[in-house]
Amino acid sequence: MPIRISSIMGVSRLVLKEKGVYDSMIDFDSKLHIDPATLKNCTIPEFLNGQARVANYFNDVLTIISHSSTIGDVFWRTAHKKLTFGEGLNSGLGYSKNGTHGSGIGPKMASQILTTVSQVVSAGVSDPKLFELVPILEENVGSDRISDMISIILKDEFLAFTDRIAKELKVKIPTDDRGMQIVFIPRSILNDLPISSQWEDVNIAAAHNESVRGSLNSIIGKSWKKVAIENKKNDLKGLLIKHPELLKELLAKYKSRSSIAYNFAIDHLGITVFDIIGPEAALDFPLDLKKYNEVTSLSIRNVVYEITMQFKNLIENNGLVNHLYDGANKLRPERFPQLLFYSIADSYCIANNLDLNREINGGSGALDFKISRGLAKVNLEIKYSSNPKLVEGFTKQLKVYNDAERIDDLNSVYLILRINDRMDHKIREIQEIIAERAKLKVDSPKLVVVDAYIKPSASLR
């Protein structure tokens, strides 16, 4: 189970919530990042000047690079140094694939960003908010990278905030398993949305030329978020540099928008509840696995299958299906049931004293869940029936994971959460594939379909 900083300090989650601190998880991907747009409304004493400090920092970079005449001159090198950031603070946000530190911005990426910024400055745009636009212009630069930059620029603020909270709670500042200090992050400056999505409904009116307007529409389609998905960043960057009036309008509209931090009350990601719901469900509906106290390479498959079928039962018959939806009755992302299964399975293993290694990919989410005992392993992949790659996940994706882990297909489970009836034909297609393989005496992963379809009440029907 992921370890939260509240448990390390021996305080309740509620205490940290009251202090405005995000109860982060150690070495686990929270999918949250520090959003620079939230700094303007931040009322936490240590961060009252945060927005100004960030703006001044980036203004310095813009001023320096404006004096550069060629790549590599003294001005370029100075600006490059200011844009080269190491790993972000040890915040426990956990969006790095290799730990809770951030990804940072190394010399190569700093050069990439600086080249673009230099081109934009030469085109007549010099606004520190430009750096918040970088994620929709540059490959491999996402909200996590910007989060790292902000955490380092405001390092003193974060350390002061951490120190004050620790003193108020009369606890030592927590450290991770490497003995490194964990820095507290205010809940009010966190977001789960990619920065590009904050421009989704911004209509650009400055494209007076019809051909320019057409070019812009062809690149972004209906939303800015689409740019990142379809890898059209270079096209958009070229257009904005060629027509700086578009960039100026975009920046103006972005700055005028109200910033909204992650809504922890609705908790769309379910990151504050999955490790509460899971253990409670396991406690309320115990599963006797004691016959597997001596887990073998053969019985481990049965252990995972029993846990899987109990998960199915909890979803279908014991109300767990309701937790697939957030406080606004919107379906939570597919990652939530993956985390929920993880916490339930982990609880059952602990309750039954099963000496098993339980792993979940806290970075990319490529491999949902793995239980192992010695050389014996079982992979489990969870998908909503609405996933556009539902069939491919069964025929290709899970196979790749199994091969990588040297796991037989029989030692893998493909769990589908059926959230409506629109993709039933895809489920039938997978069932037909399994049937055809059986005729050829070819093994297939175990398919488990869970009815997670919340049907209307009888009166509504």
Return the bridge partners of 25, or none.
Answer: 4
Closest CA to 230 of 111, 318, 139, 320: 139
Question: Rounded to two decimals, what is the model's pTM?
Answer: 0.85
175 phi/psi in degrees, rounded to 5? -130, 160
Residue 52 banded pLDDT, cuts 50, 70, 90: very high
* C-alpha distance from residue 425 to each of 15, 66, 422, 431, 432 (Å): 48, 58, 8, 10, 10
**How far apart, in whole angstroms, are the C-alpha atoms of residue 316 and residue 455?**
11
Residue 3: predicted pLDDT: 87
Residue 365 banded pLDDT, cuts 50, 70, 90: very low
Could you read off the pLDDT of 24-34 as tens digits, one per residue?
A: 988 677 889 99
Q: Which two tokens stand for residue 181?
A: 């200090």
Q: What value does the mean pLDDT take over residues 423-450? A: 96
DSSP 8-state secondary structure symbol assigned to residue 96: B
Residue 145 has pLDDT above 50, yes or no: yes
**Residue with more model confidence, 179 or 169:** 169
Return the bridge partners of 4, or none.
Answer: 25
Could you read off the pLDDT of 233-287 as tens digits, one per residue?
A: 777 788 778 878 888 877 887 787 777 899 999 999 999 999 999 999 999 999 9
